[in-house]
Amino acid sequence: MESLVELTTLFWRNRPTFITGGTGLVGSWLVKALLAQGADIVCLVRDWVPSSLILQPQQIKQVRIVRGDVRDQRCVERVLGDYEVKTVIHLAAQTIVGVANRNPIETFESNIQGTWCLLEACRRSPLVEQVVIASSDKAYGIQESLPYQETAPLQGRYPYDVSKSCTDLIAQSYAYTYGLPVVIARCGNFYGGGDLNWNRLVPGTIRSIINQENPRIRSNGQFIRDYLYVKDGANAYLQLAEALERNPSLKGEAFNFSLEINLNVLELVEKISTFMNSDLVPLILNEVSSEIPVQFLSSEKARRILGWEPFFSLESGLLETIQWYREFLAHE
């Protein structure tokens, strides 16, 4: 995490910071980055995930854990009040597109209701100074013009995409109606060490190659996506909060964060295979439905206003990720 440590500022030192979704991929690395900067962290945890990085002994001792659900507004209000929280970073969500297609109600409740409960709790908490909301490139839905710009309409069609469009719009509503200090991050597909959902492309491909098995591709291999290393994603959330402190007029604004390198699935698998010196041929299952075929973002606004730049190239991020899984699976 050296690259994130370089961003250390007095802003985070001893700052009461509330994170939802801290056991997830991005949340775990975000907690690690904030601990390095001396923040006073409170995490809301619904499900105990023993494999999560945040629950490892070296981190859990430094974090206050509150068991609860982000849909429980009273619980969230109590946490914000009891711990005198100043900065909120809302990551909690059902993030698996396939799960959303099979079980849309759970996804709508977690992602949409969870967002309005959190924002209403923040509105009632006078000490809260910044709220960073994790939206997604999926919020844009299918667009005729690419790359996605922040001015594009939010028009998700499929369950997960709709949940993110709604999350985004609700956050904007609280900013413009109530003056709540909210900013919104729209990122591409995250990857990095610690993601143990083996159905996802990057961890699943790496594990298959380590196990000398053919990587399995759920789609036809031609879906185009942005991929963002998880450490750069964590950095983006931190920079958003700091920017809102410096410039309160940013409330209600949304920012895209992307490496601005769009690849189809087969191209990404080929890169991973090359880095791992593998000639295993991927199995194309072509099982995917109800997903957007082409998505990629422009980060011009984030560069211009926030001065954001990714620390990691696709190559350096993938190499770190491969090494993380080699060590993890060897230990397992």
Query: Domain locations in the chain?
Result: 10-191+226-261+294-311
Cβ density class 251-276: b for 16+ within 10 Å, e for less: bbbbbbbbbbebbbbbebbbbbbebb
Q: State residue 47's pLDDT score.
A: 76
Listed residue (266, 172, 155) closest to 220, CA to CA: 266
Mean pLDDT of successive 10-residue stretches along the chain, which has 332 residues:
47 97 93 95 84 68 92 98 98 91 95 98 98 98 96 97 98 98 97 93 98 95 96 97 97 97 96 98 90 95 97 98 96 79
- Please check whether residue 219 is in contact with residue 265, taking contact to mean a CB–CB distance below 8 angstroms: yes
Active site annotation includes 191 = no
pTM (2 decimals)?
A: 0.93
- Cα–Cα dist 318/226, whole Å: 14
Put residue 119 in one of left, alpha, beta given phi > 0 → left and psi -120 to 50 → alpha: alpha
Calculated CA dihedral for residues 207, 212, 213, 217, nearest 10 degrees? 50
- Cα–Cα dist 241/9, whole Å: 12
Q: State residue 192's pLDDT score.
A: 97
Sign of the Cα torsion 97, 99, 103, 106 reads negative
- Please check whether residue 193 is in contact with residue 325, taking contact to mean a CB–CB distance below 8 angstroms: yes
CATH homologous superfamily for 10-191+226-261+294-311? NAD(P)-binding Rossmann-like Domain (3.40.50.720)
Query: How many residues does the structure list for the chain?
Result: 332
Q: State residue 2's pLDDT score.
A: 37
Beta-carbon contacts of residue 56 (< 8 Å; ≥ 6 apart): none
Selected catalytic residue, list 140, 158, 160, 191: 160
